[in-house]
Amino acid sequence: MLTKEAVSNYLGFVPRLWPAAGSGPEETVSRLTGEVASLAGAGSSPALPFSNVLQQAWQQLNSLHQQADEAARKVATGDPTGPTLAQAVQLTEEAALALSLFVAVRNRALEAYQEIMRMPV
């Protein structure tokens, strides 16, 4: 699910990909190798089942759509405490993007399942 936290984590990681002033490619590769190794060690904890991940994503998606609907309602009724039109449009676009991402993940999971079912035993 594309959340504000995921985007900020990504944006925080991107500058580390580019070499700092005065550092060569060797230093950059060794630094990134160390970061990947530390991330690999972090993955030793038990993972959530895929169904739980999908359920959490669905709940977040539902929450985004409810927020977008509420913002649109407040803008339509002229509620002075509500968001601006630009904020309501942004919330609506975030919800639409999250829905597109969720549907894409669902479609890929279905394709993988169908491919497994087509395998000869």
Cβ distance 109 to 53 under 8 Å? no
Return the domain boundaries, the chain.
4-42, 50-118
Tens digit of each residue's pLDDT (9 = 90 or more) over 62-92:
999 999 999 999 999 999 898 999 999 999 9
pTM: 0.56
Summarize pLDDT for 25-36 with one digit per residue, the tens: 566 666 666 666
Q: What is the DSSP letter of 28?
A: H
CA dihedral sign, ordered 19, 21, 27, 31:
negative
